Amino acid sequence: MYTIDRDPLLLTPGPLTTSLRTKQAMLHDWGSWDAAFNCMTAEVCRQLVDVVHGAGTHVCVPLQGSGTFAVEATLGTLVPRDGKVLVPNNGAYCARILKILTYLGREAVELRFAEDQPADPAAIEAALLADPGITHVAQVHCETGTGILNPLADISAVVARLGRGLIIDAMSSFAAIEIDARTVPFDALIAASGKCLEGVPGMGFVIVRQSILEASAGRCHSLAMDLLDQWVYMQKTTQWRFTPPTHVVAALHEALAQFHEEGGLAARSTRYGANCAALIEGMRGIGLKPFLPPALQSNIIVTFHAPKHPRYDFTAFYQGVRDRGFILYPGKLTQVDTFRVGCIGALTPNDISQVVHAVASTLCEMGVPVLP
């Protein structure tokens, strides 16, 4: 049995490993109506808008809960009850949007792509031209079921040219992959605290065009998830409508300080890219092949083909790697046996080399051959 004197490192797309400073930010209590906390919320929201260069056109609406809460809130608030949403679907999180729309009673049009293929802007354009009733496109930027990166800028251009609204699920790309609201038009972009900003989970947020948000009155199915009501109340009072995740906000405030100290999005993207390159090279060195070709691979998470060996069992594999200090993620593919390894969080290429060693040691212990 291995003894690890630290928390296991999280090789997942969120929650993820956070820095000591971010953890320490949660050691204090905050009053939800206190002016200091409300100023912190306002500062966090301002900085989040700045990440996508949205000042003057877009506002940030924070929401208690996971990223999926924020996705549902966005669809329920911005899509009219008689609206219709085109969902390019090449993975598990695209499928989740379709499921949410079903619950909301919003009509959806699924545009299917293979799990190893990016969404095609030309196919999206054809679908929009064929159905003038489609009001919105809901696009996942980085589909972390595989790690594939969809061509957001080209899709945005198509949607804008045809006069439809674009809702972006940027859960796993925000703050690591450039999205510029000045050149990539969108109605709303959704992300969360526990992803590439390297905060802790518990707060989703939506960066939404202010004019679009102001026009959404009366649409939402839910009081708790009404983004317009949340935003209007915050503008009037500086407070959250309901009990806020105070410790999560404090951690995110500290994580944003470290994000800027590191060098912002460009530096974070570079570090994640180095992690990704080290991971793929190391895993290839022990005989594990990535699911995606390099041209389609994001620097967020890598899906690997599971070893085709009778002694391989994911549960035993997962536990063996965990015992060595690392937490992996199961695959999300429907037809192929895979597992996933995240590249994001407070990790460096040196951490990644230790992950590869842990994977190799575990496979050897299971009796699954690895390359020398």
Domains and CATH numbers, the chain: 9-16+264-366 (3.90.1150.10), 20-260 (3.40.640.10)
Tell whether residue 311 is among the known ligand binding residues.
Answer: no
**Residue 333 has what pLDDT?**
78
Mean pLDDT of 160-168: 98
3-state secondary structure of 313: coil
**Residue 1 has what pLDDT?**
39
- The C-alpha atoms of residue 215 and residue 267 are separated, in whole angstroms, by 37
String of b and e for 189-225 (b: at least 16 CB within 10 Å)? Answer: bbbbbbbbbbbbbbbbbbbbbeebbeebeebbbeeeb
Q: Which of 300, 9, 303, 25 is nearest to 174 (CA)?
A: 300
**Cβ-based neighbour number of residue 330 at 10 Å:** 13
**Residue 64 has what pLDDT?**
97
pLDDT in tens, 131-152: 999 999 999 999 998 999 999 9
Percent of the chain with pLDDT over 70: 98
Q: What are residue 364's phi and psi, to 5 degrees?
A: -60, -45
- Answer whether residue 5 shows pLDDT above 60: no
**Residue 13 has what pLDDT?**
87
- Using alpha carbons, list the distances in angstroms from residue 201 to 128, 248, 322, 372: 35, 7, 21, 39
**Residue 3 has what pLDDT?**
44
CB 317 within 8 A of CB 355: no
Any idea which residue has 């937490």 for tokens? Answer: 327
Mean pLDDT of 320-344: 91
**Residue 151 has what pLDDT?**
98
- Answer whether residue 245 shows pLDDT above 90: yes
Any idea which residue has 């939402």 for tokens? Answer: 220
Mean pLDDT of 64-92: 97
Identify the residue with better confidence: 340 or 6: 340
3-state secondary structure of 136: strand
Mean pLDDT of 313-337: 91
Instruction: Out of 109-123, 189-203, 227-241, 326-340, pick the least confident.
Output: 326-340
- Answer whether residue 2 shows pLDDT above 50: no
Instruction: Out of 11-15, 114-118, 284-288, pick the least confident.
Output: 11-15
Between the two ends of the chain, the Cα-to-Cα distance in Å is: 24
Q: What are residue 103's phi and psi, to 5 degrees?
A: -60, -35
Any idea which residue has 């999300």 for tokens? Answer: 332
